[in-house]
Structure formats: structure tokens, C-alpha cells
Amino acid sequence: MTNTALNARLRADERMNVLLPRLVEVRAAKARLDAEEARLLAEAQTIADDWTDEAQYGRVGSDAGFPYRSVAAEIGAAWRVSDRTVQRQMSDAATLVSDYAGTLEALDAGVISVAHVRAIVTAGAIIETPGMRGEFEQDVLQIAAAESATRLIPLAKRRAEWYAETTFEQRHRRAVKDRAVWVTDVEDGMAELRALLPAVVAHGVHDRLSEMARSVIDARRVELNTDTDADPTGCGDDGSADTPDVRTTDQVRADILGDLLLAAAPTAHDGGPTDLGAIRASVQITVPVMSLIEKRITDPYETAFLVGHSPIYPETACMLTAGAAGWDRILTHPISGQVLAVDRYRPNHDQRRHLTVRDQHCRFPGCRMPAKRCDIDHTLDHAHGGVTCEYNLAHLCERHHMLKHNTAWTVRQLPGGVLEWTSPTRRTYTDTPISTIEFAPDPEHEIPDDPIPTTAMRTPDKLEPDDIEYDELQFDPLELIPF
């Protein structure tokens, strides 16, 4: 090693000697804050428990859950997170404080992290007897103090089996009742499709997809080896792209999964009274009208959206609109982006379509339950004189609809569809329609003196696509939703 390299290493070691203790201190401080948060959330759970007991709700019936929902909603609104998440965290924190005191102390001391805590509590869930759970905790804490959380997970699960009163088969029979499928949105127009299945089914599905992917890749190799005239560059004589299939095994596996789920019939459940094979998925997308003109298809400011989720590729949007049975037209304000009207080319002033476009999901702060799974609620109750019109209606999921009518939470609707919620502690939280944000124009876009073009405001008996004179539009007030 040269003197220069040696000196560089020594300087780096010296700087690390200063930095490392600070990093350890910060991590310990975060652990202490996580422990304090757990205690506070457990106290919130106790408040809901006491409320339930004092109100004589007991632990059964629909009323019993309202105190927990209301307390969680208060915290969730203050944190700007989903109250469902808060309610789960309250329950988990109460379990940690009451059943894993040693683990909480280790977290408070900075000996372990919150990831270690999660591994211990999750693994210990199968142990029902407090004494056995305490022995398990002391046993596994020794491992947690010396190992990373990822290494602790399988070790904690194995140790928990030693102390569990029930067999794996008994627990599996209970666990299989929790099977489910859900979607998690990620970046760049992608999403994760996740499923909780019995392990044998999940691995069987993955194995079958792998075999099918290998068959596709093997066939591709054979075709390339036998086609001696194939152009390895993937381009024809005229230079045009003849794209070769260069997908990886993972990519082929994912494509086959999509094909199977979207095109195949549910053979295990079809043929009965449900006729599942006749059901087709429903997808709602928003496409700026100018994106349908070929010259604007690559304009980055004319992005199509999968409603309530993420952008989608413009060519995909055009393909979907080409096959759509009809379009909804959304007229938005050129400055605020507020939805002014929703109609069809054959005019239809359906309030449900207007509210679906405006709200897109439940209007309680932090809730993302899709509008199609929500109730349309009168902000001012109809029984108390509330009218059935857009400025007195909003989508609420069943959970928050019941919260509004059965607890001290109140709401009033402000202009533009903005909801102002007031919690039982008299704090206020506002929820603005997501459409107001999505449809807001580029602030650098020049606004004409007459913001509402005559063409856009026409409502003749029959308005066909060809009747819209695109050249007359000084801005784009229309969004098209295929259905």
C-alpha cells in the first residue's frame, strides 16, 4: 500500500471514529422515542377501553368499536395518516406495553430497534400463557441484543414454537381464514399485486409460473438457434426495429401471471349460480382530451391517470379509450381545477358520476377507500333539511360514515367540495377533493381573458366527438374518462 493510500485510509478511519458514535447515539434516541410513542398509543387504547366500559358498550355489538374508531381518527387526523393504521398501532402498542415489558425496556434503552420489537411480538403471538410468553421473551431478547432484526425473525419463530400451546396444524387452520389479495401502489405507474395464501398454494403458483416462463424462454432460444437468417441487431433491412424478445425470467413470469388472471376463467368456481366467468374487471382512467390527438401523445404535461392511483402510459390510455363503450366529460375550472360539471356527449347530469370524479375516495382525512366502495352521504342530514345536491354530498366509506353518525365527530361542507371535520376535542381538519389538485393547471400556463370557451359550454341534444373544434380551445378544460 502506498503512503498516499495509507494516509487516505487513516484519515477516513479518524473521521469514522467521530461519526460512528453520533450515529449510534441517534439510533438509540430513535429507539427511545419509539418506546415513548408506544406508551402513548397504549394510553390512547386505554382511553378507548375506559370510554367503552363507562358507556356500558361491553365488547360486543356495533357500538363497541366507535370509541376506538373515534380516538384513532383523532390521532390519524393530527398525524395525517390513516386512522385504520393508527387503530392497529394502538392495539399493537397495548400488547407491547402489557405483555412484553422487558422488550419495551430494551427498546427504551436503545439495546434493540423497533424492527426487533416487531419480530419478537409477531413471533410471540402464538403463545397464549403469560408465564410461557415471559420465558420466551427473556430467551429471545438475548438473541435480539446480538443479532440484526432480519436474523432474529426466523430464530424468534423457532423459539416461539417451543413455548406455544397449540400445534402448527391448529394454527394453520386458523390462519388460512385470513387469506386475501391486495394491491400496493409504487412509483412510475407500477403497483404490487400481493396475496396471502397457504404456503403450498403460493409456492405451487410460483412454480407453475416459473415452468411456463422457462418454456417461453426455451422456445425463444430454439427459434434463435434455428433461424440462421435472423438479424442479431433486431433491425430489418430498412433499419426499422424488429424488437427481439429479451425479457428476463422474472419479466416473463410477471407477464404470464397478468395474462392468466385477466384472460383465464376461474375454473374452480365457475359453472355454478355465480357465473364468475362472465364478470369483467372495471378500470377508470382519466385522459386529457388533447392526449388523444396524435401530435400531443408524447407531451409530458398531458398524462393519463388510473383514477386514484398513478399515471399510465399514454399509448395504453389511447388503446383503452379506442375500445371504450362511452366517455364521461369533465369540465374543470381553468384556474382552481375545481370540477364544474360532468356529463356525457349525450348529456346526462348524473350526480353520482360527478361525485365519483370529484371525490375519488372516502373524504375522511387520510382515508383512501375507493369511491366505488363508499356510501354517498348527505353532509347535512337529509332528515334535518339537507338537500340532495353536489354541495351537500360526499363519499364516505362505511367506517367513517358510521363514525360521523355515531360519535361526536361532525363535518360541514365548504365551497368547492372541501370538507371541514371537527373532532370530539374540537380540533378541525380539512379534506380537499383530490380532483382539485389533479386538475389544477400548470401555473405557468397562460389563462385567456374568457376562461370558459363557448365550445366547451355547448350542451346540444347530441354532441358527437367531431363537434368539438379543438383549434378553438385556448386551454384544455376537458378530461375524458372511458368506462
pLDDT at 169: 77
Whether residue 449 contacts residue 252, with contact meaning beta carbons closer than 8 Å, is answered with: no
Give per-residue pLDDT as tens, 48-103: 999 998 887 655 555 678 999 999 999 999 999 999 999 999 999 999 999 999 99
Cell of 87: 387503530
First to last CA, the chain: 68
Residues of the chain with pLDDT under 70: 57-63, 226-243, 265-317, 319-331, 334-335, 337, 340-349, 437-483
pLDDT at 399: 92
Instruction: Give the predicted TM-score (pTM) of the model.
Output: 0.63
CA pair distance 317, 298, nearest whole angstrom: 12
Backbone phi, then psi, for 360, in 5-degree steps?
70, -30
Backbone phi, then psi, for 279, in 5-degree steps?
-80, 135
pLDDT at 204: 84
Write the CB contacts of 129 (distance below 8 Å, at least 6 apart in sequence): 163, 165
Torsion of CA 450, 331, 433, 183, to 10 degrees: -140
Write the CB contacts of 346 (distance below 8 Å, at least 6 apart in sequence): 462, 463
Beta strands in 107-190 (DSSP E): 180-185
Alpha-carbon torsion (295, 298, 303, 306), positive or negative: positive
Q: Which of 368, 329, 365, 324 is nearest to 346 (CA)?
A: 329
Whether residue 198 contacts residue 167, with contact meaning beta carbons closer than 8 Å, is answered with: no
CA pair distance 437, 444, nearest whole angstrom: 16
Cell of 336: 382552481
Cell of 369: 377507500
Whether residue 148 contacts residue 112, with contact meaning beta carbons closer than 8 Å, is answered with: no
Q: Which of 428, 426, 424, 403 is nearest to 44 (CA)?
A: 424
CA pair distance 120, 99, nearest whole angstrom: 11
Strands ordered across the beta sheet of 478-482: 310-312, 304-306, 285-288, 478-482, 327-332, 339-344
pLDDT at 297: 47
CA pair distance 440, 347, nearest whole angstrom: 24
Q: Radius of gyration over alpha carbons of the chain, in Å? A: 29
* DSSP code string of 424-446: TTS-EEEE--HHHHHTPPPTTSP
Give per-residue pLDDT as tens, 127-150: 989 999 999 999 999 999 988 998
Rounded to 5 degrees, what angle do the CA atoms 73, 376, 64 make? 40
Backbone phi, then psi, for 413, in 5-degree steps?
-105, 125
C-alpha neighbours within 13 Å on the C-beta side of residue 409:
28
CA pair distance 227, 231, nearest whole angstrom: 9
Q: Which of 199, 112, 208, 189 is nearest to 153 (CA)?
A: 112
Task: DSSP letter for 348, please.
Answer: -
